[in-house]
Structure 1
Amino acid sequence: MASNSLETRYSSSAAVSEGNAVKFHVAGCAYFWAVSEALLTAKDSVWILGWWLSPEVYLRRPPSENQQYRLDRMLQAAAKRGVKVNIVVFKEVKEIMILASRHTKRALESLHPNISVFRYPTHIENAQDILSSARSIFESVGAGYAADVDHISDRTLQTLFGMVGGPTLLWTHHEKLVIVDQHVAFLGGIDLSYGRWDPIQHPIADAHCDNGDQIIFPGQDYNNGRVMDFKDVANWERNELLRRDTSRMGWEDISLSVTGPVLADICQYFVDRWNFIHRRKYNSGLPCLRRYKPLPPPKPYIRRVDEPAGSMSCQLHSIYNAYLDIIDKSEHFVYIEQQFFITATDQSPGPIWNRVGDALAARIVRAAREQKRYKVVVVLPAVPAFAGDLQSPIAGKPPRALMKLQYDSISRAEFSVFEILQKQGINPDEYISFFNLRSYDRINMATPEKPDNVVNLFGFQIPIPQFRARNARPRNSNWDSVSSCYMFGDDDIRNVPWPDASVPDIDAFVSEELYVHSKLLIADDKVVVCASANLNDRSLKGSRDSEMGLVVEGGDVLATTMHGQPFQASKFAATLRRYLYRKHLGLLIPQDMRNPDGHFMPAPVPDDYDHGSKEDQLVADPLSDEFLQHWNDVAHTNTAAFRKVFAPVPDDSVKSWLEYDELFWKRFIGPDGFHFGQWGHVQKSNFSDGDEGVKQVKEELSKIRGTLVEMPLQFLVNSNIQIEDLGYDIITRQGYV
């Protein structure tokens, strides 16, 4: 571990470490490429710690041009060079999760003796009985029978939700860590798995009628978690999601790469986990791993915070401590990009333990009293990634419950962040705002596919006629996706051709939420927290999921302004924040997956960022009137355009379940009665027929810049989004949040 002479912060097991090189990788395209660069040059060791690892995932795209860059093949090639590959994957309960860790172990270990895979933890023997009991109760609730939470014993709930010591059913090892040659490490929010690779323009269409070699997302890598979950991922080539009818869901995520003295602690973290599992579970002939060997330092100032390795009964919450301290000490702004926002204030009586919400409210109250400009910006997913209609009695319950917890955390509960501020006479809108991300694309619908069936949005199995190949004219596959049209410097959607007259252009446009999986906090353009930890109790409490991350500050100074005044920022923190803001506003050029730039390279290779450009200057000062006006205008314009073209939910226009039903009937009931409508496609009733309607749709879409949209805080505000019945209490009582 680190020397005791160095400062330890946030009750972390690691000390402050200086003289490191760190860089960010936004979205999976750049991150996966950076990992592949490190694997290509591996000479001694590859260590991977993962919640989900898919052996057949491609680190470079398109797959047809990069067969050797499939993860399993890269690990095999490294093993053949004499590299020792050690991997720890979370061993899931297969009745709950679809991670296929057994397949991961068998597939990789069969490739070469130098590859060793541990699965952990080993779950309790009566797990299946407990799950069967819980499932019966869930089904009775879904069928409408009266039930009470007392029907489930505390022992069952505690086991189910991990409140007894030792291995558990639902708490996980959630870290995402890759270490190559004990010299460079990758960590943050991105799993080496299906559904994570994505360029910054986030295409959600990938159908190619004239050239299958252009497919970017093969098999189950083409996924939409709102329509159907992954299935039987060991047979990853088989995908029931029709790519010619249904969009994928884009994936927003962030990870870091780092070199330097901090590798000592990061490597020790992996060594401790590996050796703990080795002794506890396997006790095989495999040798224990050797400790880290010191390396010469490169450059910024970094500290690492991590959660317990090996034992889930240990309660370390250094990431949580970091959040509280950084928010409290922030002077100008906090930017949070997170998969969840489930938190509480000191007055909150509910089941939520963490008080990040209270820290935010307290900091805003202080700013209001001092009459200083202070902003909190939070970017979240619009809907948790569960398949099915929100109104479904069974499938809709998990997302509804989580949405209720989030809305209660933000504004709807008596002790929410907004309510605390309003009781102090403060208008929350002046200090804190919430946003989602959304994208659109156009599917080449002339692409033949032959699945036997597909599960539609509402959970029904419906027959799909085998597609009969049309005499489609060859077309330019450059326009098999148009997601780049809302990015900087690319074509205007109004001018993009549609050469296949056999399919109506208007039927090809699709939209979906851009799912935010990031676990990021930036404060004052000076400090960054990037971790595997979500903003909820599962990740922050310390006795549940195990997590790790980095707190990065210092390093090179960037002279800039803050609210119009001269300001000395951290170049790393400011550049990451500016990059993300420009991405969300459509002020970055689309990524070319075939031509890597500096963002595709691991540390210490510097980033290619255009400081001083017109687009950079627009986002440089996060508190300037000009920037704030532009940010809010883009979010508002994008929201209105998406609402008119696609009528997505959630939306502020849908304030009750009655209005939700009206939207449902409008989309799914036609002149001929009930039909399975195309959710995510154009709301054609809002437009004229024929070519004029297409022109109107393109005119609206041309207004969209980037992916930023307003979070609909009024969605179902006049209804109870989720009744606090047994199903809800199962999620909250033991803190599955």
Structure 2
Amino acid sequence: MTEAVLYCQRSRRPDADNGIQTCVRKRGERSVRGERLRTLARSLHPTGPAAVYEEQYSYTNYGMETPTPTTPGDCLPGIFQQLDSLAGVDSDFDESLAVPESLSVIDINKIDNKEETDANEPQSFVPFRAIHNPPIKFNSVHRKVFIPGVVIKVRFVENERSVTTHLLNPNLYTILLQHGDFKWTIKRRYKHILYLHQQLTLYRASLNIPFPTKTHKSRRASFKNTVNTEEKAEKIALDAVASSSKKREPRPRKRKGALPRFPKKPEVMVTYEGIQLRMKQLEEYLYNLLNISIYRNHHETVKFLEVSNLSFVSELGCKGKEGMIQKRTGSTKPGQAGCNCFGLLGTMVCVRCTYCCTGLVCAKWQERWLFVKDTFFGYIRPTDGAIKAVMLFDQGFEVSSGMYSTGLNHGLQILNQSRQMVIKCWTKRKSKEWMAYLKTVANQTAREFTYPNVHHSFAPPRAATPAGVLVDGAAYLSAVADAMELATEEIFIADWWLSPEIYMKRPALNGNYWRLDCILKRKAAQGVKVFVMLYKEVEMALGINSYYSKGVLTRKSENIKVIRHPDHARVGVLFWAHHEKIVCVDQTVAFLGGIDLCYGRWDDHKHRLTDLGNIAQPVSSIRTKKKTSSSPGGGLCLPTSNGLEAAIELAKSSKNIVMGITEPIQEITIDTKENDQKAEGDSEIKEEKLPVLEPGDQLLIASTKQISEPQPDSPDQKKNVLNKITDRGKDIFSVIYPPFEEERNEQRFDDSERKKAEKYALSNDQVLLTDALGIKHKSVSQPTPLAQVVEGRVITESTKEALEGIEGNSKLWIGKDYVNFIVKDFNNLDLPFVDLVDRNTTPRMPWHDVGVVVQQAAARDVARHFIQRWNAIKLEKYRQNVNYPYLLPKTYSEIKPLQGLKELLNIDINNVSCQVLRSASSWSCGFLEPDTVEQSVHEAYVDTITRAQHYVYIENQFFITLSRTNLNVRNQIGEALFNRIMRAVRGRETFRVFVVLPLLPGFEGEVGAPSGTSLHAVTHWNYQSICRSREAILTRLYEAGVSDPSQYITFHGLRTHATLGGEPVTELVYVHSKLLVADDRTLICGSANINDRSMIGTRDSEIAVLLQDEQFDEGVINGASYPCGRVAGTLRKRLFREHLGYTDIDPTACGLSLDDPTCDQFYNNVWKATSKQNTQIYEEVFHTIPTDAVHSFAELKKFQEEHSETLWHKDPALANRKIDLIQGHVVDFPLDFLCNETLTPRNISMEGMMPTALWT
């Protein structure tokens, strides 16, 4: 009869760094030799086996230290006889967890090392990207939760003994665990450790049984793989054992690591004096157990240690508290918890009945893994490992227990602003622990979100936040593209409108590399997760086609997730929109402001009106009235009798305007014999081409053709011009205004040509028009620019010959990116590279906007808002869809900057105090209570205006704000401005308010025509707020005794001019900024307009930031020294330089200082004077609309008839001299325009049937 006895001892080779645990299996017979060994043990240790144990394992912090050999060269400390003396106490320990014979070696330094990327620098955490790995069920053998290559250190630190309440297991042990940089404690009784031991023993026994199941085979195979990776370590260990036992016994000995030896003595039999020894025994058992990978990764061990896949993830914060609980189904959403007996149970008429119905009858209890991090908590479904809920700590957080709250003795109700859930634990102690920990986190690490913040924002002000300002879309989109390129984990995008095919950097010299959809596809292929939230529009009202945008992006990669919201019928939201514009990269850098990633937003300080390519076109005296906001319908201007002479006179006198225009089609001819003969007859006449670049225009690439000097007086040129008028004029008109009967010679794009249209995308800076249209052609010597389509019509085969030999260069605005919103609204967005308007007759509408970039904690706050919205939509629309995961916010401690961003951003970054603001409500952010509303943007506007000392500068798309008494408009921005101005009047202070608005709302339609109903409605409410009602700010100032309100507040717009078709044209610059600057030290920028839709919180969702400078330069305000903020003050000066025309030159060289915006010299003699002069010139030369000269629709019609021709048509030289006097873009806002008309929609119109709140 024999028995196997396992003896274990830690050993280390003196000449090796890696510690290898070995196990020796000792086989002996129950004979006299056994008694002899026990006698030897007693002689060596007279105090008995327990003393042997304490001597060997006197240290208590397992994993911190390692016993060393007693003598050099002896890798096995002590003697084998001393180890065998422990045989006498084997009956007190359970050693059934001996590893299988095939797993003979366990290397501590190689635990799970297969996942380690760098063996020289082992990871101290799990990468953040691991949270997006596919979920794995809890009892899977493939589930990995620990840090590769890092041991788990164990220490029993405390014991609570209670014999009366727990007779069999009186001791409650507090166990301190450390894994890498993560530390946490758990509380366990002996029975819990015993249960773990039993489960692992059962698991160990199952490994010896070759069950014919696929799962068991894979499990056994994984163990065999472990052996293969450790063969070398095993060989070294066996050699060490062999060398140390040469002089002892000839039989081979194996040592297999420190064996987990579980103390079998019942806890009730452990005396008080023996508790310390019991703690050491259990500590040794757990430490040795956790250093054997097959046991450490077992799901029962993972559960015992209270760890999961989220425990050791970097940038998720501390380990936190985790554990298995039971959650009541339907408790996370009101109305899903079963019957309510007509509301009786909800009113808690009978607590017992409520518990019986909701807890036992109508609801089920399901096991969930609850986890708590530093700023959020949630739970995981163990059956598949999927995260099923994420709840943020916020100002609505509550946790309660007791019968009244939950109907349970040991249950908890956890509530925040978005969700609630009812859980129960197995013991009352557990429920108390959970409740205490949740309250601790809420009062410590999550305090910034659970306590009220200034302006009632969800986020507090963040000091020392790196921030910068980006003016206009060119700088903003370029910076966003650079940040996306640096993304390694996540990209968050929230937009009102997103166009996948826009180019983020221009000109597109790198082909499609910087196109938005290509950037996202490239990053998704690198493993970056891209999450996009789009506003789901009402298709009958808006043509932004978010469905198309979603389809394009999601087809690029599985790592790109796009959701649209709201579902109008389900949510009951028809009039409100998600209006945020957010791009957040790795939750570390965030961009926000007024700029969507869509068509029409890219622009720079030049605000160009034309983009035809660098091709010259012959001049024709036939003039067409350009389609602009002043004349959306365009028209035909018949040539004057001296048209050619006037054109030549223009060329002589003009300094900035040239007779050539740039367009992609050099000339359009019909292939007839007569034309061929005409061409042959004119072959001897050299046709002159005029230069087409505007002075200072560096973005257009000069043509390689040699351009000769224009000779306006030459008879050859006169003959050429007249020939083109007589012989080719008909063909020109057939392209500009295609008649109905010629539509058979044209074709329209349909869905089947979608792939062909994609060839419009720039490749090597240019595209062949004929290739994109699939037209057969003989040869094309040079590539041509993009196809030009007149109002959706594509020029067909008849223009093929005219395309040959034409040179061109990359355009800045490709396809539908060239837009004039008032002339033509968007349509057919699934054809992105087909022009929306005719570039030859319609100037684009420039776009002025401002965005900001913030980093560190403020970027985390922006990401937190995005995550809250995403998770709310996930819960509402995609609750059971595993393809749309819940998002997790990163921790606010030790924020790592985005590597390389500082070098790429071509802007000044300075430290500011930054607070993230928003407008949010139940429909937009998923709040449980309908009366939960955040309007921190509104409160910040009012507070900043009230506190302003010297000036307030506002740029906004709207100005709809009335006094406190008005019932239609509720925001108090106008009231705050009035009160602040009156305070200045009473105190005889110098105080200025600058307001810059778009001259007309950006709605398609013509002023005074039925198509302009929406345009009229918004114009009405703007004027109601400015000067045309008793609550208007100017009206109230007059009534308060202010004789000249313009000394305190002025309203302005922006306008620019260019050359199109050889003649000057003008167009308003559409102001889309949502900006407020006060006193050169405070700045508010975001997506919120000055109207109720954006401000009061219950309507559109918005986001903004309040920046307050922390770094200053010397400045001047009102003639006195004043600190000028490096962010707010610099931005104000930058905008003034652009609006006043000093962007490319130093204003000080002209004797102008922009330092003091409030002094009379600047305010009256520069700002107001320049605006007034520009307004007069534009009205004299172009007869622009809107204008103070028109008070009614009848006068408007008369005005347009009398001024069908501009001054340039009558006297080009005089017009050019006046145009040369225009400085910058600023003009006066016409306060008397249509003042005698009622601009509200008629009740019988569709717009009139809409509620007033739609426009305000």
* TM-score of the pair, normalised by structure 2: 0.46
| Selected match of 1:180 from 558, 582, 585 | 585
Q: What do the CA deviations read for 1:98-156 (whole angstroms, capped 9, x no partner)?
A: 1211111111111111111111111207xxxxxxxxxxxxxxxxxxxxxxxxxxxxxxx
- The CA distance in 2 between the partners of 1:616 and 1:559, in whole Å, is 19
Answer yes or no: is the 8 Å Cα contact 2:945–2:976 preserved in 1. Answer: yes
Are 1:424 and 2:829 matched, yes or no? no
**Measured at CA, do residues 696 and 346 of structure 1 come closer, stay the same or move farther in structure 2, by a change above 3 Å?**
same
Counterpart of 2:959, as a letter, is F
- The CA distance in 2 between the partners of 1:655 and 1:578, in whole Å, is 35
Indicate the residue corresponding to 1:291 in structure 2. 889
Indicate the residue corresponding to 2:1252 in structure 1. 733
| Selected match of 1:627 from 1155, 1159, 1162 | 1162
Indicate the residue corresponding to 2:1197 in structure 1. 661
| Selected match of 2:535 from 85, 90, 95 | 90
Indicate the residue corresponding to 1:540 in structure 2. 1095
Counterpart of 2:1169, as a letter, is D
- The CA distance in 1 between the partners of 2:1124 and 2:1202, in whole Å, is 51
Give the SS at the match of 1:414: coil
Answer yes or no: is the 8 Å Cα contact 1:220–1:239 preserved in 2. Answer: yes
**Measured at CA, do residues 46 and 368 of structure 1 come closer, stay the same or move farther in structure 2, by a change above 3 Å?**
same
Matches within 5 A, 1:246-261: 246-261=842-857
Give the SS at the match of 1:93: coil
Indicate the residue corresponding to 1:369 in structure 2. 986
Are 1:392 and 2:1009 matched, yes or no? yes
Counterpart of 2:984, as a letter, is A
- The CA distance in 1 between the partners of 2:1020 and 2:609, in whole Å, is 28
Are 1:407 and 2:926 matched, yes or no? no
Are 1:338 and 2:956 matched, yes or no? yes
Q: CA RMSD in A?
A: 2.1
Indicate the residue corresponding to 2:1185 in structure 1. 649
Answer yes or no: is the 8 Å Cα contact 1:60–1:66 preserved in 2. Answer: no
Answer yes or no: is the 8 Å Cα contact 1:300–1:553 preserved in 2. Answer: yes
Answer yes or no: is the 8 Å Cα contact 1:562–1:624 preserved in 2. Answer: yes
Structure 1 residue 561, shift from structure 2 partner: 1.0
Answer yes or no: is the 8 Å Cα contact 1:274–1:289 preserved in 2. Answer: yes
Are 1:572 and 2:1189 matched, yes or no? no
| Selected match of 2:870 from 254, 267, 274 | 274
Counterpart of 1:554, as a letter, is D
Matches within 5 A, 1:490-509: 505=1062, 508-509=1063-1064
- The CA distance in 2 between the partners of 1:623 and 1:540, in whole Å, is 28
Answer yes or no: is the 8 Å Cα contact 2:494–2:580 preserved in 1. Answer: yes
| Selected match of 2:1081 from 522, 526, 542 | 526
Indicate the residue corresponding to 2:1153 in structure 1. 618
Structure 1 residue 43, shift from structure 2 partner: 1.3
- The CA distance in 2 between the partners of 1:584 and 1:730, in whole Å, is 39
Structure 1 residue 68, shift from structure 2 partner: 0.6
Indicate the residue corresponding to 2:925 in structure 1. 310
Are 1:320 and 2:938 matched, yes or no? yes
Structure 1 residue 538, shift from structure 2 partner: 0.4
- Structure number with larger C-alpha Rg: 2
**Measured at CA, do residues 615 and 293 of structure 1 come closer, stay the same or move farther in structure 2, by a change above 3 Å?**
farther
Answer yes or no: is the 8 Å Cα contact 1:260–1:299 preserved in 2. Answer: no
- The CA distance in 1 between the partners of 2:483 and 2:578, in whole Å, is 24
- The CA distance in 2 between the partners of 1:221 and 1:380, in whole Å, is 23
Matches within 5 A, 1:582-593: 582-589=1137-1144
| Selected match of 1:200 from 605, 608, 620 | 605
**Measured at CA, do residues 323 and 730 of structure 1 come closer, stay the same or move farther in structure 2, by a change above 3 Å?**
farther
Counterpart of 1:347, as a letter, is T
Structure 1 residue 387, shift from structure 2 partner: 1.6
| Selected match of 2:493 from 39, 45, 48 | 48
Counterpart of 2:867, as a letter, is V
* TM-score of the pair, normalised by structure 1: 0.78
Give the SS at the match of 1:49: strand
Structure 2: runs of 5 or more not aligned: 1-374, 376-444, 616-806, 898-909
- The CA distance in 1 between the partners of 2:591 and 2:827, in whole Å, is 28
Indicate the residue corresponding to 2:1173 in structure 1. 637
Tell me the percent identity.
Answer: 33
Structure 1 residue 735, shift from structure 2 partner: 4.3
Structure 1 residue 725, shift from structure 2 partner: 4.1
Give the SS at the match of 2:531: strand
Give the SS at the match of 1:178: strand
Indicate the residue corresponding to 1:517 in structure 2. 1072
Counterpart of 1:555, as a letter, is E
Matches within 5 A, 1:193-272: 193-208=598-613, 210=615, 211-272=807-868
**Measured at CA, do residues 730 and 318 of structure 1 come closer, stay the same or move farther in structure 2, by a change above 3 Å?**
farther
Indicate the residue corresponding to 1:481 in structure 2. none
Counterpart of 2:1184, as a letter, is P
- The CA distance in 1 between the partners of 2:536 and 2:452, in whole Å, is 35
- The CA distance in 2 between the partners of 1:248 and 1:123, in whole Å, is 33
Structure 1: runs of 5 or more not aligned: 126-165, 446-504, 591-609, 669-682
Answer yes or no: is the 8 Å Cα contact 2:957–2:1071 preserved in 1. Answer: yes
Q: What do the CA deviations read for 1:646-668 (whole angstroms, capped 9, x no partner)?
A: 11111011123332111121245
Indicate the residue corresponding to 1:711 in structure 2. 1229
Answer yes or no: is the 8 Å Cα contact 1:437–1:513 preserved in 2. Answer: yes
Counterpart of 1:112, as a letter, is S
Counterpart of 1:19, as a letter, is A
Structure 1 residue 615, shift from structure 2 partner: 7.3
Answer yes or no: is the 8 Å Cα contact 1:655–1:718 preserved in 2. Answer: yes
Give the SS at the match of 2:865: helix
Give the SS at the match of 1:217: coil
Structure 1 residue 734, shift from structure 2 partner: 3.4
Counterpart of 2:584, as a letter, is I
**Measured at CA, do residues 220 and 50 of structure 1 come closer, stay the same or move farther in structure 2, by a change above 3 Å?**
same
Give the SS at the match of 1:35: helix
Structure 1 residue 239, shift from structure 2 partner: 2.2
- The CA distance in 2 between the partners of 1:615 and 1:320, in whole Å, is 40
Structure 1 residue 724, shift from structure 2 partner: 6.3
Give the SS at the match of 1:717: coil
Counterpart of 2:493, as a letter, is I
- The CA distance in 1 between the partners of 2:1089 and 2:1241, in whole Å, is 25
Structure 1 residue 214, shift from structure 2 partner: 2.9
Structure 1 residue 392, shift from structure 2 partner: 1.1
Q: In the comparison of the two structures, how many residue pairs are matched?
A: 595
**Measured at CA, do residues 619 and 730 of structure 1 come closer, stay the same or move farther in structure 2, by a change above 3 Å?**
farther
- The CA distance in 2 between the partners of 1:64 and 1:392, in whole Å, is 43
Higher relative contact order (CA 8 A, sep 6+): 1
- The CA distance in 1 between the partners of 2:1167 and 2:1053, in whole Å, is 13
Q: Which sits farther off after the overlay, 339-348 or 431-440? A: 339-348
Give the SS at the match of 1:539: helix
- The CA distance in 2 between the partners of 1:525 and 1:281, in whole Å, is 45
Answer yes or no: is the 8 Å Cα contact 1:261–1:296 preserved in 2. Answer: no
Are 1:4 and 2:559 matched, yes or no? no
Q: Which sits farther off after the overlay, 111-120 or 531-540? A: 111-120
Give the SS at the match of 2:911: coil
Answer yes or no: is the 8 Å Cα contact 1:98–1:231 preserved in 2. Answer: yes
Q: What do the CA deviations read for 1:532-557 (whole angstroms, capped 9, x no partner)?
A: 00000100010000000100002201
